[in-house]
Amino acid sequence: MVTHAFRISVLAVAVASTAIAGASTIVVESPALRTGETVPREYTPDGRNLSPPLTWEDLPEGTKELAVVCADFGAGNPPPWVHWILYGIPGNSVGLPAGLPIEPSVPMPAGLEGAIQGHNGWGISLYRGPAPPPGKAHIYHFTVYALDQKLGLGPGLDREELLEAMDGHILGQGEIVPTYERY
């Protein structure tokens, strides 16, 4: 099963770099996360379950808006299980600070005005970190999408609806792919 998940991960990276002809690869980094390494506990329900910080660079020219999805392709029926989905992120932003709001009444921090958290797999509009069944490491794709226009999306979209809305508008994407295991 671990092999299966790894194969999907490789596939996803391959897709990220070649999916759209001429699409550029965004460099996605994080002071807290690293591809292939364990997510620190504070970004999981084994800790405070804050949303992790992300940064992005090398946005394609003409980026007007960004979206972020955190998905586990080794879970869900059918996969993936979505942990986090944001869209409407201003195109001139450079990343997300840790601990974005988990209450509807709390606004997004400065620089992220207008960003909306959509419905994750639990149907709630916030980040919930890795909570895999014990005994096997899962792989979490934090994917950043750069879009060629502001999509003007309303609240409450899930991943399928977001992908449909972004179709044809993705200038480039990039991801960071940490892991997590519970014991």
Partner 1 sequence: MRRLPEKDVAVVGLGAAGGVAVLPLAEAGLQVVGLEAGTRLTARDFSPDEIRNNVRAWPFASQKANREIPTVRATSRHPTSRGSTHPMMNGVGGTSLHYWAQSWRLNPWDFKTVSETTRRYGARRIPDGSTVEDWPFGYDELEPWYDKVEWEVGISGQAGNVAGSIHPTGNRFEGPRKRDYPMKALRWNGFLEHMADAARGLGWNPFPGPAAINSEPYQGRSGCRYHGFCDRGGCHVDAKNSTAVTTIPRAEQTGNLEIITRAVATAIEVGGEGRASGVRFIQDGEEYFQPAKSVLLASYTYENVRLLLLSKSRLFPNGLANNHSQVGRHYLSHHQHAPVSALFPFDMHAWYGLPAQGVAIDDWADDNFDHGGLDFVGGGNLWVMSDRKPIQAANMSTFGRVPSWGSAWKAYVKNNADRFHYTYIQRTTLPYESNRLDLDPTSRDPYGLPVIRVTAQFKDNEKAISDFVQDRMVEWYRAAGAVEVQKGGEPNAMPVSTHAYGGTRMGDNPETNVVDRWGFSHEVPNLGVLGASVMGTSGAHNPTLTAQALAWRTADRLAESWSAIAG
Partner 2 sequence: MAEQRPKGISRRDLLRTASVAGAAAAVGQTGSAAQEPGTASARAATYEHLTAEEAELLEAIADHLIPADDNGPGALDAGAVHYIDRSLGGAQSGSRDDYHSGLAAFDRYCRVTRNARFVDLEHTDQISALLDMQTGGASGARVGFLGSSAALFSMLRAHVLHGTFGDPYYGGNRDFIGWKLLGYPGPRVSVTTVDQRRLEAGELEAEYQSAYDWDSFVRSEDAEDA
167 binds, among partner 1, partner 2, none (CB under 5 to 8 A by kind): none
Residue 10 is a binding residue for partner 1 (CB under 8 A): no
160 binds, among partner 2, partner 1, none (CB under 5 to 8 A by kind): none
Q: Which is nearer to partner 2, 132 or 172 (CB)?
A: 132
Which residue in the set 4, 48, 136, 150 belongs to the binding site for partner 2 (CB under 8 A)?
48
128 binds, among partner 2, partner 1, none (CB under 5 to 8 A by kind): partner 2
Residue 137 is a binding residue for partner 2 (CB under 8 A): no
Which residue in the set 31, 36, 47, 156 belongs to the binding site for partner 2 (CB under 8 A)?
47
Q: What is the 3-state secondary structure (H, E, C) of 24-74?
A: EECEEECCCCCCCCECCHHHCCCCCCCCCCEEEECCCCCCCEEEEEEEECC
Cis peptide before 80 (omega within 30 of 0): yes
Residue 107 is a binding residue for partner 1 (CB under 8 A): no
Exposure pattern of 170-182 as b/e (b: 16+ CB <10 Å)?
bbbbbbbbbbbee
Q: How far is the CB of 76 from partner 2 (least distance, A)?
A: 14
Residue 138 is a binding residue for partner 2 (CB under 8 A): no
